[in-house]
A = this chain, B = another copy of it.
Amino acid sequence: MDTGQRRARKKRQTRAALVRAALELFDAKGYEHTAVREITDAVDVSERTFFRYFASKEDLALSFARDWTDAMLAMLRERPASEDPLAAMRGAFRESVLAEAALDAGDAEDGEGADGVPTYLLVTRLIDSTPSLLARHLRYLHDRDDEIVGVLAAREGVDPAADLRPRILAAVFGSLIFLANRAWRTEGSTSVEDMVAAFDAHADQFTPDLFGHWTARP
């Protein structure tokens, strides 16, 4: 249906230019203080065009989160059945983060993001520091939880409507990602490997002694 090459390429370019300009502006002056107008001026397209590419300003800011979630779900589906649910999610997380980071390094033609900062970090920081974006992002994750639940339930052969375990695990997973991300950024690292390590350290803490009364841990 869309055999046209030049046309498709131009679209991709415009879209990429909008995202790039937007992220730079967001990083420089903050999300709230960046008007759509400024973004479109930087790329020299009309404001109307912006909204033909993105449903909203938030939509643009979260486009990376969407890509990552897609990747993570794809990885999760491919995990061997021998892994238990938690192990599968940990594996899927690791693989998807590394894959996205590689992609990012790939199309970083003249230095990533503003200067040397990987997009993954840029976007995470942006979301976590912008209340309205954080809200949208949480809802987005919440929406996609259903898919995670579906995959986990299928893997383990349980009924997701009656058995809450997949649902609970998905919720916990989301929390762990959030906390690990924040911890990672606090430590000031920009390496994706460190991010994955931070996640693993957090996931290690998710153990059965969560139930009953708690006693101090080693």
Enumerate chain A interface residues (CB-CB to B < 8 A). 84-86, 131, 134-136, 138-139, 142, 156-158, 162-165, 167-169, 171-172, 174-176, 179, 202, 205-214, 216-217
* A168 vs chain B, min Cβ distance (A): 6
- Cα distance A44–B32 in the bound complex, in angstroms: 32
Does the CB pair B174–A214 fall under 8 Å?
no
Which chain B residues lie closer than 8 Å to A84 at the CB level? 211-213
Shortest CB-to-CB span from A195 to chain B, Å, is 17
Question: Do A216 and B158 form a contact, CB below 8 Å, given A168-B172, A179-B164, A211-B207?
Answer: yes
Instruction: State the Cβ distance, A85 to closest chain B Cβ, in Å.
Output: 7
With both chains docked as a complex, state the minimum distance between the C-beta of A128 and any C-beta of chain B, in angstroms: 11
Q: Given A135-B135, A158-B214, is A206 in contact with B171 using a C-beta cutoff of 8 Å?
A: no
The reply to whether B131 and A138 contact each other, CB–CB distance below 8 Å, is no
20 contacts between A and B (CB under 8 A): A84-B211, A85-B213, A86-B211, A157-B214, A157-B216, A158-B216, A158-B217, A163-B214, A163-B217, A164-B176, A164-B206, A165-B209, A167-B175, A167-B179, A168-B172, A168-B205, A168-B206, A168-B210, A169-B210, A208-B211
